[in-house]
Amino acid sequence: MPTQSVNPTSAPSGWLKSYYSTRFVVSAIWVALAFTVARAMPPISAVLLVAYPAWDALANFIDADKSGGLARNKSQMLNVIVSLITAIAIVVALGKGMNAVLAVFGVWASLAGLFQLVTGVRRWKAGAQWAMILSGAQSALAGGFMIVLASGTKPVGITDIAPYAAFGAFYFLISAIWLTVSDARRGANRATA
Protein backbone atom coordinates (compact mmCIF):
# COMPACT_ATOMS: atom_id res chain seq x y z
CA MET A 1 0.00 0.00 0.00
CA PRO A 2 1.63 3.31 -1.01
CA THR A 3 2.09 6.05 1.54
CA GLN A 4 0.22 9.30 1.23
CA SER A 5 1.87 12.01 -0.79
CA VAL A 6 2.36 14.64 1.87
CA ASN A 7 4.75 17.54 2.00
CA PRO A 8 7.45 16.37 4.42
CA THR A 9 7.99 19.85 5.82
CA SER A 10 4.59 19.85 7.43
CA ALA A 11 2.15 17.27 8.65
CA PRO A 12 -1.60 17.84 8.87
CA SER A 13 -2.46 19.74 12.04
CA GLY A 14 -5.20 17.25 13.00
CA TRP A 15 -2.74 14.36 12.83
CA LEU A 16 -0.12 16.21 14.86
CA LYS A 17 -2.63 17.13 17.58
CA SER A 18 -3.61 13.48 17.90
CA TYR A 19 0.01 12.33 17.72
CA TYR A 20 1.28 14.76 20.34
CA SER A 21 -1.67 14.01 22.64
CA THR A 22 -1.00 10.28 22.40
CA ARG A 23 2.70 10.79 23.03
CA PHE A 24 1.83 12.87 26.11
CA VAL A 25 -0.53 10.24 27.54
CA VAL A 26 1.88 7.33 26.99
CA SER A 27 4.81 9.28 28.46
CA ALA A 28 2.76 10.41 31.47
CA ILE A 29 1.68 6.83 32.19
CA TRP A 30 5.30 5.66 31.83
CA VAL A 31 6.50 8.32 34.28
CA ALA A 32 3.76 7.46 36.79
CA LEU A 33 4.67 3.77 36.63
CA ALA A 34 8.39 4.56 36.91
CA PHE A 35 7.92 6.58 40.10
CA THR A 36 5.51 4.09 41.69
CA VAL A 37 5.37 0.41 40.77
CA ALA A 38 8.70 0.12 38.93
CA ARG A 39 10.75 1.51 41.82
CA ALA A 40 9.95 -1.54 43.93
CA MET A 41 9.63 -4.16 41.19
CA PRO A 42 12.77 -4.63 39.06
CA PRO A 43 11.04 -6.82 36.43
CA ILE A 44 8.49 -4.08 35.73
CA SER A 45 11.30 -1.53 35.68
CA ALA A 46 13.15 -3.63 33.09
CA VAL A 47 10.07 -3.89 30.89
CA LEU A 48 9.49 -0.13 31.09
CA LEU A 49 13.13 0.62 30.27
CA VAL A 50 12.99 -1.49 27.11
CA ALA A 51 9.49 -0.30 26.19
CA TYR A 52 10.34 3.42 26.23
CA PRO A 53 12.69 3.51 23.21
CA ALA A 54 10.65 0.77 21.49
CA TRP A 55 7.56 2.97 21.79
CA ASP A 56 9.54 5.94 20.48
CA ALA A 57 10.52 3.88 17.43
CA LEU A 58 6.92 2.87 16.78
CA ALA A 59 5.60 6.41 17.29
CA ASN A 60 8.18 7.90 14.93
CA PHE A 61 7.45 5.21 12.35
CA ILE A 62 3.70 5.93 12.43
CA ASP A 63 4.24 9.69 12.36
CA ALA A 64 6.65 9.45 9.43
CA ASP A 65 4.20 7.19 7.59
CA LYS A 66 1.40 9.74 8.09
CA SER A 67 3.75 12.49 6.92
CA GLY A 68 4.96 11.06 3.62
CA GLY A 69 6.91 7.95 4.65
CA LEU A 70 10.32 7.21 6.12
CA ALA A 71 12.14 7.91 2.87
CA ARG A 72 10.87 11.50 2.93
CA ASN A 73 11.45 11.93 6.67
CA LYS A 74 15.09 10.97 7.16
CA SER A 75 15.40 12.34 10.71
CA GLN A 76 12.49 10.16 11.80
CA MET A 77 13.87 7.17 9.90
CA LEU A 78 17.14 7.57 11.81
CA ASN A 79 15.19 7.98 15.04
CA VAL A 80 13.34 4.70 14.38
CA ILE A 81 16.61 2.86 13.72
CA VAL A 82 18.42 4.30 16.74
CA SER A 83 15.44 3.68 19.02
CA LEU A 84 15.15 0.03 17.97
CA ILE A 85 18.88 -0.50 18.47
CA THR A 86 18.57 1.18 21.87
CA ALA A 87 15.75 -1.14 22.98
CA ILE A 88 17.98 -4.12 22.16
CA ALA A 89 21.01 -2.49 23.80
CA ILE A 90 19.00 -1.93 26.99
CA VAL A 91 18.15 -5.63 27.13
CA VAL A 92 21.89 -6.36 27.02
CA ALA A 93 22.76 -3.54 29.45
CA LEU A 94 20.24 -4.80 32.02
CA GLY A 95 22.57 -7.77 32.56
CA LYS A 96 25.41 -5.39 33.40
CA GLY A 97 23.56 -3.10 35.81
CA MET A 98 21.65 0.13 35.92
CA ASN A 99 24.71 2.30 35.28
CA ALA A 100 25.10 0.59 31.91
CA VAL A 101 21.38 1.05 31.21
CA LEU A 102 21.59 4.74 32.10
CA ALA A 103 24.60 5.17 29.79
CA VAL A 104 22.69 3.56 26.91
CA PHE A 105 19.69 5.77 27.67
CA GLY A 106 21.96 8.81 27.68
CA VAL A 107 23.41 8.08 24.26
CA TRP A 108 19.92 7.41 22.92
CA ALA A 109 18.44 10.58 24.47
CA SER A 110 21.16 12.66 22.86
CA LEU A 111 20.71 11.15 19.40
CA ALA A 112 16.90 11.02 19.54
CA GLY A 113 16.87 14.62 20.74
CA LEU A 114 18.96 15.77 17.80
CA PHE A 115 16.68 13.90 15.37
CA GLN A 116 13.60 15.43 17.03
CA LEU A 117 15.16 18.88 16.77
CA VAL A 118 15.80 18.37 13.04
CA THR A 119 12.22 17.12 12.55
CA GLY A 120 10.88 20.18 14.38
CA VAL A 121 12.92 22.57 12.24
CA ARG A 122 11.80 20.77 9.07
CA ARG A 123 8.14 20.98 10.17
CA TRP A 124 8.26 24.57 11.36
CA LYS A 125 5.29 25.64 9.22
CA ALA A 126 3.06 22.97 10.79
CA GLY A 127 2.97 25.04 13.99
CA ALA A 128 3.92 24.31 17.62
CA GLN A 129 7.35 23.12 16.50
CA TRP A 130 9.19 25.50 18.82
CA ALA A 131 8.22 23.13 21.66
CA MET A 132 9.53 20.12 19.73
CA ILE A 133 12.77 21.96 18.97
CA LEU A 134 13.19 22.85 22.66
CA SER A 135 12.35 19.28 23.62
CA GLY A 136 14.92 17.92 21.19
CA ALA A 137 17.63 20.27 22.45
CA GLN A 138 16.82 19.48 26.07
CA SER A 139 16.83 15.75 25.29
CA ALA A 140 20.30 16.01 23.79
CA LEU A 141 21.56 17.84 26.89
CA ALA A 142 19.80 15.44 29.27
CA GLY A 143 21.46 12.55 27.46
CA GLY A 144 24.87 14.03 28.24
CA PHE A 145 23.86 14.42 31.88
CA MET A 146 22.74 10.77 32.02
CA ILE A 147 26.06 9.61 30.57
CA VAL A 148 27.97 11.57 33.23
CA LEU A 149 25.67 10.23 35.98
CA ALA A 150 26.10 6.68 34.69
CA SER A 151 29.88 6.94 34.94
CA GLY A 152 29.70 7.84 38.63
CA THR A 153 29.53 5.59 41.67
CA LYS A 154 26.13 6.73 42.94
CA PRO A 155 23.43 4.05 42.62
CA VAL A 156 21.05 4.85 39.76
CA GLY A 157 17.65 3.56 38.74
CA ILE A 158 14.59 4.17 36.63
CA THR A 159 13.79 7.30 38.66
CA ASP A 160 16.92 8.89 37.19
CA ILE A 161 15.35 8.51 33.73
CA ALA A 162 11.76 9.39 34.65
CA PRO A 163 12.33 13.20 34.84
CA TYR A 164 13.63 13.07 31.26
CA ALA A 165 10.42 11.32 30.18
CA ALA A 166 8.33 13.78 32.21
CA PHE A 167 9.83 16.76 30.37
CA GLY A 168 9.14 14.99 27.07
CA ALA A 169 5.52 14.49 28.11
CA PHE A 170 5.27 18.17 29.02
CA TYR A 171 6.52 19.29 25.61
CA PHE A 172 4.13 16.95 23.79
CA LEU A 173 1.26 18.37 25.84
CA ILE A 174 2.30 21.96 25.07
CA SER A 175 2.47 21.15 21.34
CA ALA A 176 -0.98 19.51 21.34
CA ILE A 177 -2.52 22.47 23.19
CA TRP A 178 -0.74 25.00 20.98
CA LEU A 179 -2.04 23.35 17.80
CA THR A 180 -5.56 23.12 19.25
CA VAL A 181 -5.60 26.81 20.16
CA SER A 182 -4.08 27.80 16.79
CA ASP A 183 -6.72 25.80 14.92
CA ALA A 184 -9.50 27.36 17.02
CA ARG A 185 -8.18 30.87 16.27
CA ARG A 186 -7.97 30.14 12.55
CA GLY A 187 -11.53 28.81 12.63
CA ALA A 188 -12.74 31.91 14.49
CA ASN A 189 -10.94 34.19 12.03
CA ARG A 190 -12.54 32.37 9.07
CA ALA A 191 -15.98 32.66 10.69
CA THR A 192 -15.63 36.42 11.18
CA ALA A 193 -14.11 37.07 7.75
pLDDT, tens digit (0-9, with 9 covering 90-100), for 40-98: 999 999 999 999 999 999 999 999 999 889 999 999 999 999 999 999 999 999 999 99
Q: Where are the domains of the chain?
A: 13-180
Q: Does position 5 have pLDDT exceeding 50, yes or no?
A: no
Burial class (CB in 10 A: 0-12, 13-18, 19+), 4: exposed
120 vs 126: CA distance, rounded Å: 9
For 36-47, what is each residue's pLDDT tens digit? 999 999 999 999
130 vs 119: CA distance, rounded Å: 11
Cβ(131)–Cβ(167) under 8 Å?
A: no
